[in-house]
Amino acid sequence: MSQPALSGAGGSATLDAVDRRLLDLLQSEFPLVAQPFAVLAQRLGISEEELLDRARALRESGVLRHLSAIFDVYRVGYRSTLVAFSVPEERLNQAAAAVSAHPGVSHNYGREHEYNLWFVLAVPRSGDLEGEVTLLAEKTGAVRYHILPALELYKIDVEFDMVNGEGNKGQRSQGRKARRRDLTADEVEMVRALQEDLLLVSRPFAAAATALGMSEDELVARAEALREEGIMRRFAAVLRHRIAGFAANGMTCWIVPKERLEEVAAKFASYPQVSHCYRRPTFDDWPYNVFTMIHAQTREKCEETVRKIAADAGVHDYAILYSHTEYKKERVKYYGLR
């Protein structure tokens, strides 16, 4: 029987080899079946009971942040954007609290830059996204700010390599979005249910299926259909990267010549260490048009990866914005916003 994962030095968790393999599987190979943990236990060569004990310990330790469906914000009827605020340093924590209080904010980080508060905001498509940002800017006293929506999504695939410790190990490139359609009333209720943190029990979908008036098999089959259509990007665990041992969170912003955008972005996205790759708008005081996210155990490893990517792509104008404080990171509750 496993022992609970304990907090180690520097706030990271103490994990054994089985814990690390389990975290890899939870991030990348979670099966949409009535008894998913039994399937994972068989892959690991342990009992379902031991696997569930380990998963509960990982959740208790904080390394396992969330386990649920991850939906495509656009396909479920929302708009989202990255936002950069420049806030006086002495007011940063107060401003961050005001931003984090917004139910549409999922990620909110303090970063080492003149633009020192970065957050992701999502609102229903009928909502006024730009108006919400303006209100937050007024509330926080932001000196300057930029709204930075994704103009092109090249990759989003966050999977921390817990076995080898080499940062992100995701390999799925991002295709173009399929045509958006309105979800049915039943599908909306499924989204509401599947976005909740999964129960760590033998039959984790049973309660949701009962509440939705369907069998477990029907629920997981319809969930799989949402995944096939791209409405659900995946069903997977999200880890607290610092507790998992990846303390260097480097958002690397690049100046890429327009005529080389597609070529360079494809090269960036090909690196497994890159979890996100987007093209975003530029401004007079913000010339960076491509964003990549790289997580590493140390800044030195992060910068080594960035130098390698820069040399490979032949692009050397960039800035790495490290986060110093995670103010908020949680799933937006779709169909629950004001």
State the catalytic residues.
Answer: 107
Angle among Cα 99, 103, 104 to the nearest 5 degrees reads 85
**Beta bridge mates, 7:** 13
Could you give the C-alpha distances from 55 to 8, 21, 239, 305, in angstroms and in order? 18, 11, 12, 31
- Write the CA distances from 101 to 92, 96, 178, integer angstroms: 14, 9, 32
Helical (H) or strand (E) element with 233: strand 232-239
DSSP character at residue 260: G
The three-state secondary structure class of 217 is helix
Q: What's the one-letter identity of residue 297?
A: Q
Neighbours of 95 (CB within 10 A): 23
Q: How many Å apart are CA 18 and CA 24, to the nearest integer?
A: 10
Residue 141 DSSP label: T
Taking residue 211's Cβ as centre, other Cβ atoms within 10 Å add up to 12
The residue written with tokens 């107060």 in the block is: 94
Tokens of 150: 């994704």
Of 298, 284, 292, the C-alpha closest to 310 is 292
